[in-house]
């Protein structure tokens, strides 16, 4: 059985491609079941965020067949021709796959290293797989270990200190353009975690007023109240857009919600004073054509790379410390996984030795008819202790050898030594 991750991320593909292949929360359950069946009832998890679309699988397929099925699955799920994303796909197997997930969950592979949202997203992906019963024993263990590793990296390094989320970097970018956010009016569109984190960061920088736009009026009011913001119904967005110097959009809408016409109208009411727009949604909320309008400055997630590069440099030493923790944890997990492969052999060893024990015990007791029932039980107990001792010593040594050599080679020799099935 192979443990594999296949997907694409901000390292290998532009935002335009990632958003075309992204799965919404509503699409994940059916996608999991489809992929689970497609890969021969494999254990699967789908992780889809603004920066990555990844499939984690524990399967028994041949590598070429697996790659073919993953490409077909992504292509058919999103009606995107394979040739448009094939070169952006990466695949890691076994040890490399384990290390990749641990780095992802620990935010060592994020665009903004140290950001906290990714761990929650990995957890949600795992919970979704649990709900659809597509996570097998190895997948369960892998993700549980990933959460432990992420906690260790965050508590034993300072990688999470400072402004490290996409939302805070977006606000950093706004401040770098306006010099100060004090006295500015900001419109936040959306009410999810990303929108709320952005709102907190804005308020901490001294914005004068905040306009909260959401399709759900109750949700807009709930989000606006703690920050003395003004809730605005989504259908009234166009009537208030001109009031904002800064617009930050982070909804889960499947298509553009802001178009050039919206901003032409807003600029007219603003006497063409500049507007700064940050689109941190995937798929994007703002039509890219908006960025071509004079006095409108549009940025999306990929445009944050310069700020992210500075973030990476500041955290380089902490990244190295985090990588060491990941490597240690990968070794632990792979040792567990290798030993897991040996479990059927351990069972066969026990069955074989106990078969011999029972045969020889019966022969011995038959030759000693004068033994009392108590004595017969004592002899039987003695043979059980002997077999148990042999098994315990053997299992410890075999596990040790598996940890230092190729598991298949070790198990082949064990099967030959004990005369077990499949030993040739």
Evaluate whether residue 153 is within a structural domain. yes
Q: Three-state DSSP class for 246?
A: strand
Q: Which residues of the chain have pLDDT under 70?
A: 161-165, 191, 305-312, 314, 422-424
E strand map for 191-294: 209-214, 230-233, 246-249, 275-279
Q: Which ranges of 228-299 does DSSP label H, i.e. alpha helix?
A: 237-240, 260-269
Mark whether 227 and 109 lie in a shared domain: no
Mark whether 78 and 184 lie in a shared domain: no
Evaluate whether residue 324 is within a structural domain. no
- Which residue, of 281, 303, 325, is where some domain finishes? 303
Model confidence pLDDT, tens digit, residues 118-177: 999 999 999 999 999 999 999 999 999 999 999 999 999 888 765 556 777 778 778 877
Mark whether 184 and 262 lie in a shared domain: yes
Evaluate whether residue 313 is within a structural domain. no
Catalytic residues, which ones? 50
Q: CA 110, CA 147: separation in Å to the nearest integer?
A: 16
Tokens found for residue 129: 């797989």
Mark whether 43 and 122 lie in a shared domain: yes
Collect all residues with Cβ–Cβ distance below 8 Å to 250 and sequence separation of at least 6: 167, 188, 189, 190, 192, 194, 195, 198, 280, 281, 285
State the pLDDT at residue 12.
95
Mark whether 140 and 170 lie in a shared domain: no
Evaluate whether residue 314 is within a structural domain. no
Query: Residue 198 maps to which CATH number?
Result: 3.40.50.720
Evaluate whether residue 148 is within a structural domain. yes
Mark whether 295 and 349 lie in a shared domain: no
Evaluate whether residue 103 is within a structural domain. yes
Q: Provide the number of structural domains found in the chain.
A: 3
Mark whether 184 and 130 lie in a shared domain: no
Query: Residue 12 maps to which CATH number?
Result: 3.30.460.30
Evaluate whether residue 424 is within a structural domain. no
Q: Which domain holds residue 268?
A: 166-303
DSSP of 259-274? -HHHHHHHHHHTTT--
DSSP of 138-181? HHHHHHHHHHHHHHHHHHHSSTT-SS-SHHHHHHHHHHHHHS--
Mark whether 386 and 356 lie in a shared domain: yes
State the pLDDT at residue 424.
45
State the pLDDT at residue 418.
85
* DSSP category for residue 301: G
Collect all residues with Cβ–Cβ distance below 8 Å to 378 and sequence separation of at least 6: none
State the pLDDT at residue 422.
65
DSSP of 41-69? S-EEEEEE-SSEEEEEEEE-S-HHHHHHH
State the pLDDT at residue 338.
80
User: Is the pTM higher than 0.75?
Assistant: no
Phi, psi of 74 (to 5 degrees): -65, -40
Mark whether 231 and 143 lie in a shared domain: no
Mark whether 211 and 155 lie in a shared domain: no
- Which residue, of 135, 162, 189, is where some domain finishes? 162
Evaluate whether residue 320 is within a structural domain. no
- Which residue, of 279, 303, 327, is where some domain finishes? 303
Residue in 18, 29, 118, 129 with CA at minimum distance from that of residue 74: 18
State the pLDDT at residue 292.
95
């Amino acid at each position: 059985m192979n443990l594999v991750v296949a997907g694409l991320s901000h390292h290998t593909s532009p935002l335009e491609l990632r958003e075309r292949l992204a799965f919404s929360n509503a699409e994940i359950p059916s996608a999991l079941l489809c992929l689970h069946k497609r890969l021969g009832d494999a254990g699967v998890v789908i992780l889809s965020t603004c920066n990555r679309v990844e499939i984690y699988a524990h399967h028994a397929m041949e590598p070429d067949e697996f790659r073919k099925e993953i490409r077909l699955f992504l292509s058919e799920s999103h009606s995107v021709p394979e040739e448009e994303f094939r070169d952006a796909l990466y695949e890691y197997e076994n040890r490399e796959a384990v290390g990749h997930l641990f780095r992802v969950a620990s935010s060592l592979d994020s665009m903004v290293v140290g950001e906290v949202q990714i761990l929650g997203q990995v957890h949600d992906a795992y919970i979704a797989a649990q709900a659809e019963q597509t996570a097998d024993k190895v997948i369960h263990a892998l993700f549980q270990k990933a959460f432990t590793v992420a906690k260790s990296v965050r508590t034993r390094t300072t990688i999470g200190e400072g402004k490290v989320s996409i939302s805070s970097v977006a606000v950093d970018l706004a401040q770098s353009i306006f010099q100060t956010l004090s006295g500015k009016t900001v419109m936040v569109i959306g009410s999810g975690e990303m929108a709320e984190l952005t709102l907190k960061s804005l308020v901490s920088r001294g914005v004068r007023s905040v306009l909260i736009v959401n399709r759900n009026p109750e949700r807009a009011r709930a989000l606006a109240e703690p920050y003395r913001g003004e809730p605005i119904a989504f259908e009234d967005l166009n009537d208030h857009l001109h009031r904002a110097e800064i617009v930050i959009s982070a909804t889960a809408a499947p298509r553009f919600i802001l178009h050039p016409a919206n901003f032409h109208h807003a600029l007219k009411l603003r006497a063409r004073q500049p507007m700064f727009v940050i689109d941190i949604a995937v798929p994007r909320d703002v039509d890219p054509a908006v960025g071509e309008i004079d006095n409108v400055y549009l940025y999306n997630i990929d445009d944050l790379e310069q700020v992210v590069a500075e973030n990476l440099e500041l955290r380089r030493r902490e990244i190295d410390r985090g990588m060491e923790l990941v490597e240690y944890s990968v070794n632990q997990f792979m040792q567990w996984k290798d030993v897991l492969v040996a479990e059927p052999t351990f069972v066969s060893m026990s069955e074989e030795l106990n078969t011999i024990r029972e045969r020889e015990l019966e022969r011995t007791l038959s030759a000693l008819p004068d033994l009392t029932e108590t004595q017969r039980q004592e002899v039987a107990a003695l043979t059980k202790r002997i077999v148990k001792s042999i098994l315990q010593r053997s299992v410890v040594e075999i596990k040790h050898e598996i940890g230092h050599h190729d598991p298949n080679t070790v198990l082949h020799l064990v099967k030959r030594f004990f005369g077990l099935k499949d030993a040739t």
